[in-house]
């Protein structure tokens, strides 16, 4: 097996290659997955992540890491969709799931498209003040669906919206 040193050199910067397949150190695998080194070690011990031993050091195939990363994204999407369905704001989903805002924003857009949800942007100011002004609680998908049902059932309201 060939060992390619990066500019930083040393064990941290090694990427081991065999027949064009890249193997990453534990630290590199952790960075790739966005977790800490202990989590990578735990994943190896529990069989969630396969490693190869090279010169007494556990290294990880990039293909296996890509699969784990895709599984992580799928789980994040599922958890985010559940929260969106419950009416949780995207900013609160970022905090609860400890995810990147851009990732959650993309997931929110995908959820809205897939569920045919109508996303209403609240006017500027605090959400609490807006809810108090309009005397409504948190605007959930269920409440919005009900409002649309009421509007669609009333010819008067439909004509007001058409004009």
pLDDT tens column, 36-79: 999 999 999 999 999 998 888 899 999 999 999 999 999 999 99
Q: Which fold has domain 2-68?
A: Multidrug-efflux Transporter Regulator; Chain: A; Domain 2 (1.10.1660)
Question: Does residue 3 surpass a pLDDT of 50?
Answer: no
When pLDDT is averaged across residues 133-139 and rounded to a whole number, the result is 67
Confidence (pLDDT) at 127 = 65
Residues 2-30: b if buried by 16+ CB within 10 A, e if exposed: eeeeeeeeeeeebbbeeeeebbbbbebbb
3-state secondary structure of 142: helix
Residues with Cβ within 8 Å of 136's Cβ and at least 6 positions away in sequence, in order, are: 143
Confidence (pLDDT) at 28 = 94
Question: Does residue 10 surpass a pLDDT of 50?
Answer: no
Residues of the chain with CATH 1.10.1660: 2-68
Please report, rounded to a whole number, the percentage of residues in the chain having pLDDT higher than 70: 72
Residues 59, 28, 91, 112: is their CA dihedral positive or negative?
A: negative
CA–CA gap between residue 72 and residue 99 (Å, rounded): 11
Confidence (pLDDT) at 87 = 87
């Amino acid at each position: 097996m060939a060992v390619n040193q990066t500019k930083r050199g040393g064990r941290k910067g090694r990427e081991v290659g065999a027949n064009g397949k890249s193997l990453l150190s534990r630290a590199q695998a952790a960075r790739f997955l966005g977790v800490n080194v202990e989590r990578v070690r735990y994943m190896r011990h529990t069989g969630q992540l396969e490693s190869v031993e090279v010169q007494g050091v556990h290294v990880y195939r990039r293909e296996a890491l890509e699969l784990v990363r895709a599984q992580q994204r799928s789980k994040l999407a599922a958890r985010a969709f559940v929260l969106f369905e419950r009416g949780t704001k995207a900013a609160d989903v970022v905090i609860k799931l400890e995810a990147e805002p851009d990732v959650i924003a993309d997931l929110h857009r995908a959820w809205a498209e897939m569920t045919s949800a109508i996303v209403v942007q609240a006017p500027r100011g605090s959400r609490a003040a807006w809810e108090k002004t309009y005397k409504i609680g948190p605007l959930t998908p269920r409440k919005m669906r009900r409002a649309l049902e009421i509007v669609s059932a009333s010819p008067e309201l439909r004509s007001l919206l058409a004009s």
